[in-house]
Amino acid sequence: RDKAQVRVWRRPGRAVDRATAEHLFEVINAREAVLRRLIRRCAYLKYVEARLGDRTLYADEILRDGFCLNMIDTPLCPLKVVTNLQEAVWDADIVINGLPSTETREVFGEIGRYWKERINPPIIISLAKGIEASLDPMPRIITPTQMIANATGVPLENILYLGGPNIASEIYNKEYANARICGSEKWRKPLSKFLRQPHFIVWDNSDLITHEVMGGLKNIYAIGAGKFPFALNHCLILLSMPHIISFS
């Protein structure tokens, strides 16, 4: 913690609904360490008021206290959260893109304006899955790392993709997981060693684009599997393998 400063950018204004606030209050009271931490920070009262319906909580506000709206049942450590995008990224050495692919181009277009005068481009690690289609000058797909490079002018050598069959709460709770970081050898080798933990194994690979596309396809098949009875899942998986191979 003494060697690194982590800033999390979150858009302001997203309200936490009453049902989620009530559930969050139960989560807080079920964990003594979390309860004591909030009391020490003089932050507990606002969760009582939200539980009673007397106050509206906001996503960026609770994230500062260590609660992510997408994983309420897994309290995190308190985080430095900023709602100003320029403050979050202007002097960052490493930027991690956790945006949906549909928003990556727009947000990094804005970030690119803040980086125009930077001498040394940052390293960008993208977690986004998904593609855009383009017809100019020929039909092709554009992946999130390519969107970032086009929007910011950061060389593709400095942009990597990190992905794997993981769930964020499981990694935080130190359940076994593995992932691949893909991109140029200059950065993927040291970053894979830096990110590797006893419970989180990170491999490295040079094939950036294929891993991005396969990561998105994997999610499509997973959603499909969730809509079929268990007995049919093996058929879906069997049919999806040739599809993945044909893309790769």
Write down the domain spans for the chain.
8-82, 87-206, 209-247
Place of tokens 């060697």: 3
Residues of the chain falling short of pLDDT 50: none
Specify whether 218 is catalytic: yes
Residue 4's pLDDT is 80
Q: Which residues contact 100 (CB under 8 A, 6 or more apart)?
A: 128, 130
Q: For the segment 175-196, what is each residue's pLDDT rounded down to a tens digit?
A: 999 999 999 999 999 999 999 9
Q: 10 Å Cβ neighbour count for 146? A: 22
Residue 247's pLDDT is 63
* Catalytic site residue from 3, 174, 193, 218: 218
Q: Which residues contact 222 (CB under 8 A, 6 or more apart)?
A: none
d(Cα 189, Cα 18) in Å, to the nearest integer?
46
Q: For the segment 36-85, what is each residue's pLDDT rounded down to a tens digit?
A: 999 999 999 999 999 999 999 999 999 999 999 989 999 988 889 999 99
Domain 87-206, second-level architecture: 3-Layer(aba) Sandwich (3.40)
Torsion of CA 33, 39, 45, 48, to 10 degrees: 20
d(Cα 115, Cα 121) in Å, to the nearest integer?
8
d(Cα 99, Cα 78) in Å, to the nearest integer?
21
